A and B are shown apart, each in its own frame.
Chain A
């Protein structure tokens, strides 16, 4: 059942990407509203997918790579829909729905069977850990998109071009504000993710911290974002520097999530994909 909802969601994310791309070309507001509607339908279906999988499996479905990618895509769309309530940055939709769609396609290619839950994952803390961690990741994804757009817009302004590209991107201030806002929400979530993770580690393996690659890299990511926040508040790392840091931070997030899982064997490595 969940696979049907999953496919349906992926299909609607795809249509949303198409709508947002045609918005970028035409700049017609109605087209971006269609994109938003399609993404919302996809999100609803995706939510049903997660719920049915939870019921079918009997545990929070974030235990293998298929489930994690799918959950990551879900949090990205969730964050996008929430951000959209406050910040009317329509182009953002094109970036975030596209990233979610790519994650969905990878997830689709991976084994989707529901397997018995490994004993270590059977914990009260596990769902909290993954929810905080992925919500943080999704917010950092949004910051990454803002960073990329900022660098493009800044380059347009510095090189004195006011052409088609510049016209389609938000103002520097809007992008920098959203980047900062993302940092102030994402950083606490990442911190909570790490704390709940270490509490869970204490239950699962009998120690809070074991320098397993995943733990090490999440700490590196945490330090990156901590530095970013600190520099911003003290010496005013905003604008260009903040945009670059958002991109660097996101690379670190991605590596912690995927790179470590695929390249560096450790306790977090998913056994079944």
Chain B
């Protein structure tokens, strides 16, 4: 896919903004041993069975570690542009879960400490949309470590 220089710049910037956000969140949670996702999960407004199971005593440690691992992996993937396709898919999945736990659908109470007011569209949903764009307009073959992997593959082909 051919992008103009400005298009490429904008798309790389978008990818890296999201990457920064994921990596910083993941690192902060990693460095805060008392952090846990249990409050978020127990406050879930949809799929209460699923989120209740995730926050059960037997699951919560695994869920907390997975959350941190996914946030950091997606962050590094998007920032460095490495294994970006896989990173974006993982990012889309976790954003979907974040959104579904607190989706701000009509009739639902606004919970959590998020600032601002939302109906259906929350910041999580917007980040999900942005990731979708990053997925459909890949840039890591031009700016990012994937360019080495891609080239090697091309050369090999």
A joins B in a complex: no
Interface residues of A (CB under 8 A from B): none
